[in-house]
Chain A
Amino acid sequence: MPLSPLSTPVAEPPVAARAAVARTFSVAIAGSGGAGVMTAGTLLLDAAARAGLYGLMVRTSGPQIRGGEAAALLRLGPQPVATLDDRFDLLLAIDWQNLHRFADEIPLGAASLLVGDSDAGEAPEALRRSGATLHALALKKTAKACGGAWVNMIALGLAGALAGLPVAALEAALRASWKRSAESLAPNLAALQQGVAMALGLPDERPAPLLPRTDAPAGRWLLSGNEAAGCGALRGGVRFVAAYPITPATELLEWMAPALTQVGGTLLQAEDELASVNMIIGASYGGVPSLTATAGPGLALMTEGIGLAVAAEVPIVVVDVMRGGPSTGIPAKSEQSDLSFAVDGLHGDAPRLVLAPNSIADCLAATEWAVQLAEALQAPAVVLSDQFMGQSRAVIDRPAHPGVPARRLTAPAATAADAPAYQRYLDTPSGISPMAVPGTPGTVYTADGLEHSERGIPSSQAADHRKQLDKRQRKLDRHDYGARWADVEGDADLAVITFGSTTAAVREAVARAALQGVPLRLLSLRLLAPLRIEALTDALRGVRQVLVVEQNHGGQLLRYLRSRADLPGRASGLHRPGPLPLRPGELCAAFVDWAAAHAPQEANS
């Protein structure tokens, strides 16, 4: 059941559903390069946080290196927000240049407002035919009249006031970010006020604003998924990173570079991804927990290194911030299409860990867990984040637990004359054998990507090969992963399975469907490999039918699950490639239809 390539209009959810799935306000601020839309969006998100609210800001831009059209897509609300809505309440365009390119990414409806500059000409037809109410306002002129203020400050005031944010919160956000002279702040504050006044001057037919919260939890965080993953890596104990720049993973590395030096680690820029993965293998062989971050093209180059980490049993973590593929694909936009490659893309029988965070907050927790698992199991771990989470910023509740350093089973020094010869690849019941750290006397060995004996000597003998293959599989299979392998919600007899950033839209769609009398069970898989087949079977107990939802063209998760597990009923898939996100409203409509098609026999008769 592939979704249509473009999001088709769906009926508004009933009032009850909209109320129970907390009211949110979606705003897009768009314009050409230099208009400052990202700054306005960032300040709007900060102001919402100051007003006790939560929010998500997604960045989208054209292909230009600098300048070019761009849009900040925000969704604000009283509860944590992890996905965009089906429709925007407001599109505020500082100018119309190339804005038609965003028509699919910024869906509007009849209840939406479309605000542009009265001196910028006609709004593009692609936007006007949405039926949104168009207001042309003197944005640039008003900014100029405020002593040469920036037009994006008008936009900030306008969007903030329409969203229901107090002026004080907007002003505080602006003041906190101001790095220029005090004199230049005043006109921009005035422009912000003018934007607020413009909003209040609009006719009453406008989207309902949010109510500020005074009871918001203290100590909330504002960060991107890439920053969260970097932070999780540090919490997990990573102290060495080697990497090659690649969109959309670069910000993760740029956050870690100064952070690592402050906590006693280092980051090295490699000449390519072949080098970066081998550098972290070398560093980890040296006893230092190590990580690299990349995207699909880099992951492709890293596979030989990941295979080496499997064979030589060297713990490493590779964060893949997925983007549109194959090949160079769509570098700056999101897709969940590296899954098949991550779980199966190595030569030989090569057990590895594959994890997928399912929110910006989970980018932290899942990456930290990946480091812990890699270290504990002496195996490579691939973390499948994506551009949507990686480059978006969100207000989240403070991540709960403090960092626990990664633990690796190491070999003690063996200096006694009668100490037995150290066997690096000893075939233990758990499959985990103590790993000597160079510098330790009495335990020298050669780590090897060639098949080897327990002692670590290259071997092409069947018995050694079988023993080491069994060992490497067993250590992953026997580990107790606890309850974190998946988020399992609800107990309905129809189940929706998903992973990664799509989870948030699925979760919201499931909540909306419940309000329409269609209960669904939700499974979001965090540990994709090794697949917890027994736990999955348990979690699906009582389920009659399964629907697998993901953002790619081929239904990779569906195919993966079908190949590994006996899913109940006739498992079907619902998938669409990037870069358009799957939206909660369209998913809810699809779920309701799917549930109706699979109603119990007695209900049909």
Chain B
Amino acid sequence: MNDTTLEARLSAADYKSDYKPIWCPGCGDYTVLSSLTKALAMIQRPPHEVAVVSGIGCSSRIPAYTTCYGFHGVHGRALAAGTGLKVARPDLTVVVTGGDGDGYSIGGNHFMHACRRNVDMTYIVMDNHVYGMTKGQASPTTEPDWDNKLAPGGTGIRAFHPLVIALASGANFIGRGFSGDPNGTAAIIAQAIRHPGFSFVEILSPCVTFRPEQKGWKEIVRAAPVEPTDDPALAARRIMTDDGFNIGVLYAGHRNPYPARVGSAARSVADLEREFEL
């Protein structure tokens, strides 16, 4: 079987494993999983040449639900693990996944530096503005007045704006998807994977259990009424002034990806050791 015929056969189903997700019925993450597998089918990279890396949280369970190589690490460090993997193995397609708590709170520093470093990989954040796995606490993207047991009456802290941070930190591709639009989201993810450098896709993915009001997002989201731009200043103005519900590719830049200075093995270790000889 040659590669061409193999590739021709790959469909979204080929990227979906048999494991039953732990997610609640109606969770937005089901359709994100479906969008991811559709996107991989568009790319047509065999599943064993793709690695899906995650941290901890509801959405971070996604690697095992694919037929790709998976890495389910510790809370907040998915981007670091993905960076090491991609730099050491540039031949693989690396997709890092997770939620808003994992990526913007405990992993916030890694998020900023991953954007800045611009390693050629894709970061998908399923943002539901809540910690679901620990049963309903405020995340960095939660509205300040959202009442919860850990912060009665709300945190009183304004929400974090991940797209603005990503742009300011140097992400080379920024898109926003909505789990209620699996085909549109798949197209954004496929574009993100194809785009060189660090691509960031924020996907609004409702938590029907702890934020049931998010079911109403489907009434609010809209296609961004603009074409993607490669102008960071224009992108910044758009991202900062939209209400967080514009869907689409919002920025596609031209920064050169992180140059992994993987050498050519021109010298042996024994060669190097000569510098120590008297």
Interface residues of A (CB under 8 A from B): 46, 49-50, 219-223, 227, 231, 234-235, 239-240, 242, 259-268, 270-272, 274-276, 278-288, 290, 304-305, 307-308, 312, 395, 398, 402-403, 436, 438-450, 456-458
Question: Which residues of A have CB within 8 Å of B63?
Answer: 446
Q: Is the CB of B81 within 8 A of A439?
A: no
Stretch at the interface among B45-53, B153-161, B227-235: B45-53
Given contacts A234-B272, A272-B109, A275-B77, contact A242 B267 (CB under 8 A): no
Q: Is the CB of A286 within 8 A of B89?
A: yes
Question: Which residues of A have CB within 8 Å of B69?
Answer: 436, 438-439, 444-446
CB distance from A393 to the nearest CB of B (A): 10
Q: Name 29 A/B residue pairs within 8 A (Cβ), A-sorted.
A: A49-B278, A221-B273, A231-B276, A240-B84, A242-B84, A261-B262, A262-B271, A266-B260, A266-B261, A268-B260, A270-B113, A271-B113, A272-B109, A275-B80, A278-B80, A279-B80, A279-B87, A281-B73, A282-B71, A282-B85, A282-B88, A283-B87, A285-B71, A287-B88, A308-B73, A444-B70, A448-B64, A450-B72, A456-B64
Given contacts A266-B262, A278-B84, A439-B48, contact A50 B270 (CB under 8 A): no
Question: Which residues of B have CB within 8 Å of A304?
Answer: 74, 77
Question: Which residues of A have CB within 8 Å of B91?
Answer: 439
Q: Is the CB of B74 within 8 A of A446?
A: no
Q: Please measure, in the bound complex, the distance between the C-alpha atom of A235 and the C-alpha atom of B269, giving whole angstroms.
A: 7
When A and B form their complex, which 8 residue pairs have the shortest distance between CB atoms, in order from nearest? Answer: A264-B265, A446-B70, A282-B84, A279-B84, A283-B88, A278-B80, A282-B81, A261-B263
Size bracket, chain B contacts? 35 or more
Binary interface profile of B, 53-92, with partner A (CB < 8 Å = 1, else 0)? 1000000010110011111111011001111111111011
Q: B88's contact among A240, A395, A445, by CB below 8 Å, is which?
A: A240
Q: How many A-B contacts at CB < 8 Å in the complex?
A: 192
Q: Please measure, in the bound complex, the distance between the C-alpha atom of A11 and the C-alpha atom of B149, giving whole angstroms.
A: 70
Considering the complex, give the chain A residue whose CB is closest to the CB of B87. Answer: A268
Given contacts A50-B278, A227-B276, A450-B72, contact A281 B260 (CB under 8 A): no
Given contacts A231-B273, A450-B72, contact A283 B77 (CB under 8 A): no
Considering the complex, give the chain A residue whose CB is closest to the CB of B81. Answer: A282
| With A262-B267, A271-B113, A279-B80 already in contact, 15 other A-B pairs whose C-beta atoms are closer than 8 Å | A231-B273, A240-B88, A260-B263, A262-B266, A266-B263, A279-B87, A283-B84, A287-B89, A304-B77, A308-B74, A438-B69, A439-B49, A442-B48, A444-B48, A444-B68
Question: Which residues of A have CB within 8 Å of B113?
Answer: 270-271, 275
Interface centre among B51, B81, B91, B109 (most CB of A within 10 A): B81
Is the CB of B176 closer than 8 A to any CB of chain A?
Answer: no
Q: Is the CB of B64 within 8 A of A446?
A: yes
Question: Which residues of B have CB within 8 Å of A312?
Answer: 71, 73
Q: Is the CB of A290 within 8 A of B48?
A: no
Considering the complex, give the chain A residue whose CB is closest to the CB of B96. Answer: A282
Q: B71's contact among A290, A398, A446, by CB below 8 Å, is which?
A: A446
Question: Which residues of A have CB within 8 Å of B92?
Answer: 286, 438-439
Given contacts A268-B84, A282-B80, contact A445 B70 (CB under 8 A): yes
Is the CB of B110 closer than 8 A to any CB of chain A?
Answer: yes
Interface centre among B46, B71, B84, B92 (most CB of A within 10 A): B84
Question: Which residues of A have CB within 8 Å of B278?
Answer: 46, 49-50, 219-222, 395
Q: Is the CB of A457 within 8 A of B64?
A: yes
Q: B87's contact among A264, A266, A436, A444, by CB below 8 Å, is which?
A: A266
Q: Please measure, in the bound complex, the distance between the C-alpha atom of A448 and the C-alpha atom of B82, giving whole angstroms.
A: 14
Is the CB of B264 closer than 8 A to any CB of chain A?
Answer: yes
Is the CB of B277 closer than 8 A to any CB of chain A?
Answer: yes
Q: Is the CB of A440 within 8 A of B48?
A: yes
Given contacts A222-B276, A283-B84, contact A288 B48 (CB under 8 A): no
Question: Which residues of B have CB within 8 Å of A282?
Answer: 53, 71, 73, 80-86, 88
Question: Which residues of B have CB within 8 Å of A267?
Answer: 261
Interface centre among A445, A446, A449 (most CB of B within 10 A): A446
Q: Please measure, in the bound complex, the distance between the C-alpha atom of A274 and the C-alpha atom of B107, giving whole angstroms.
A: 10
Binary interface profile of B, 243-278, with partner A (CB < 8 Å = 1, else 0)? 000000000000000001111111111111100111
Question: Which residues of A have CB within 8 Å of B273?
Answer: 221, 231
Q: Please measure, in the bound complex, the distance between the C-alpha atom of A13 and the C-alpha atom of B271, giving whole angstroms.
A: 44
Q: B48's contact among A265, A268, A283, A438, by CB below 8 Å, is which?
A: A438
Q: Please measure, in the bound complex, the distance between the C-alpha atom of A430 and the C-alpha atom of B46, giving whole angstroms.
A: 33
Q: Is the CB of A264 within 8 A of B83?
A: no
Q: Please measure, in the bound complex, the distance between the C-alpha atom of A262 and the C-alpha atom of B86, giving whole angstroms.
A: 20
Question: Which residues of B have CB within 8 Å of A458?
Answer: 61, 64, 72
CB distance from A21 to the nearest CB of B (A): 24
Question: Which residues of A have CB within 8 Å of B81?
Answer: 278-279, 281-282, 285
Q: Is the CB of A283 within 8 A of B89?
A: yes
Q: Please measure, in the bound complex, the distance between the C-alpha atom of A240 and the C-alpha atom of B87, giving whole angstroms.
A: 9
Q: Is the CB of B83 within 8 A of A268?
A: yes
Question: Which residues of A have CB within 8 Å of B61?
Answer: 458
Interface centre among B72, B92, B268, B269 (most CB of A within 10 A): B269
Interface centre among A231, A262, A276, A290 (most CB of B within 10 A): A262
CB distance from B57 to the nearest CB of A (A): 12
Question: Which residues of B have CB within 8 Å of A222?
Answer: 276, 278
Q: Is the CB of A444 within 8 A of B47?
A: yes
Considering the complex, give the chain B residue whose CB is closest to the CB of A307. Answer: B74
Q: Is the CB of A231 within 8 A of B269?
A: yes
Q: Is the CB of B84 within 8 A of A280?
A: yes
Q: Please measure, in the bound complex, the distance between the C-alpha atom of A285 and the C-alpha atom of B70, giving whole angstroms.
A: 10
Question: Which residues of A have CB within 8 Å of B271?
Answer: 262
Q: Please measure, in the bound complex, the distance between the C-alpha atom of A446 and the C-alpha atom of B113, giving whole angstroms.
A: 25
CB distance from A263 to the nearest CB of B (A): 6
Q: Is the CB of A223 within 8 A of B276?
A: yes
Considering the complex, give the chain A residue whose CB is closest to the CB of B92. Answer: A438
CB distance from B105 to the nearest CB of A (A): 13
CB distance from B80 to the nearest CB of A (A): 4
Q: Is the CB of B46 within 8 A of A441?
A: yes
Q: Is the CB of B64 within 8 A of A438?
A: no
Q: Please measure, in the bound complex, the distance between the C-alpha atom of A227 and the C-alpha atom of B277, giving whole angstroms.
A: 13
Q: Is the CB of A266 within 8 A of B88?
A: yes
Q: Is the CB of A283 within 8 A of B49?
A: no
CB distance from B278 to the nearest CB of A (A): 5
Q: Is the CB of B53 within 8 A of A264?
A: no
Q: B272's contact among A49, A262, A280, by CB below 8 Å, is which?
A: A262
Question: Which residues of A have CB within 8 Å of B88?
Answer: 239-240, 266, 282-284, 286-288, 290
